[in-house]
Amino acid sequence: MKNLIKVACVQAAPVFLDLQGTVNKTIQLIADAAKEGVELIAFPETWVPGYPWFLWLDTPAANMPLVYQYHLNSLELNSAQAQQIADAAKQYNMHVVLGFSERDHGSLYISQWIIDNHGETVAVRRKLKATHVERTLFGESDGSSIQVYDTELGRIGALCCWEHLQPLTRYAMYSQHEQIHIAAWPSFSVYGNATAALGPEVNNAASRLYAAEGQCFVLAPCAIVSKEMFELLCTDETKKQLLKMGGGAARIYGPDGRDLVTPLAEDEEGLLITEIDLNHIIFAKTAGDPVGHYSRPDVFQLVFNAQHNTNVIQKAPIQHTPPDLAQHTANSEVEFEGE
């Protein structure tokens, strides 16, 4: 495990609803980060093929044409496009944490793919519970996705968006002694005038709290809504009031909760890059470790089911020895003769 690590956090717009276009942009961002000596790059929630903002703007029936396109442009892990990303991680000696819409046969999941610098999969995790209208498009995961993974860079974990507002999920992650956390966000672009809960201040506070509460480094990549996305999705005046362009608010936090990099403007594309020192976690943990010396297991305990659940439990069929018909006939005859 290394102590000094150069990391990058993406703030950019995907090539919306264009699988290959977004894969190409992904590889370019990995290459750009490599030129700066970066060893770990983090991408926003559903970076491929972009966050489905149309879910928040219209009815399920009206959205079906866009849902169809979204399925077609979501990423399958055994696809040529996925292999291109894995190859890029190896080529540029880069650890990659990629937010993507995962297509698994007929279902979609909000997923994060952790790839090491050899192009090998460390883990693929799925959002435990899709948020609000996301549930009309995406499935959900189980406790097997609430895990922290050992890598050459340290213990890395990841969550998406409002998973950071689930206290028990956070504590389950902290309990695994996470050192680098990827807090992936889409962009803060919808219902801005209606509620602060979906805005940058509240949700960046969640990322910052995660860093201070879990005493770990937090990379919080964040997408932006481009002009092209806005024009595609906002087909009437009402929709133009609900969604805005920009919305980027990528951040990198230290284990004491401080900002480590000057943020970009909310409509600016780029990479937040800094060097982190894992030894700084020691100072934060000394002050208060909520899963160690600062805990009270005699008062509070978390029951955490980390098992993977499957829809079908297939049991092996019983192997019967084929009957010997001649012997069966002979036995029958003997039994008959004995009567």
Each residue's pLDDT tens digit, 186-212? 999 999 989 999 999 999 999 999 999
- Rounded to two decimals, the pTM is 0.91
Look at residue 336 in the predicted model and tell me its pLDDT: 40
Is 228 among the residues known to form the active site? no
User: Does residue 178 belong to any structural domain of this protein?
Assistant: yes
CA-nearest of 298, 228, 276 to 18 is 228
Give how many domains the chain has, as a whole number.
1
Please name the residues in contact with 32: beta carbons below 8 A apart, sequence gap of 6 or more.
271
Q: Indicate which CATH number applies to the domain containing 88.
A: 3.60.110.10
User: Does residue 292 belong to any structural domain of this protein?
Assistant: no
User: Does residue 316 belong to any structural domain of this protein?
Assistant: no
Look at residue 315 in the predicted model and tell me its pLDDT: 86
User: Does residue 261 belong to any structural domain of this protein?
Assistant: yes
| Domain region containing 243 | 4-287
Look at residue 193 in the predicted model and tell me its pLDDT: 87
Look at residue 322 in the predicted model and tell me its pLDDT: 65
User: Does residue 239 belong to any structural domain of this protein?
Assistant: yes
Express each pLDDT in 222-244 by its tens digit.
999 999 999 999 999 999 999 99
Out of 45, 163, 178, 266, the active site residue is: 45
User: Does residue 311 belong to any structural domain of this protein?
Assistant: no
Which residues of the chain register pLDDT less than 50? 328-339
Q: Apex CA 181: angle with CA 160 and CA 74, to 5°?
A: 35
User: Does residue 238 belong to any structural domain of this protein?
Assistant: yes
Look at residue 331 in the predicted model and tell me its pLDDT: 47
Q: Apex CA 280: angle with CA 248 and CA 186, to 5°?
A: 15
Q: Are 40 and 8 in contact (CB under 8 A)?
A: yes
b/e burial code for range 120-154 (CB count within 10 A of at least 16 → b): eebbbbbbbbbeebbeebbbebeeebbbbbebebb
Query: For residues 1 and 230, what is the distance between their CA atoms, to the nearest angstrom?
Result: 43
Tokens 């189980």 found at = 142
User: Does residue 127 belong to any structural domain of this protein?
Assistant: yes
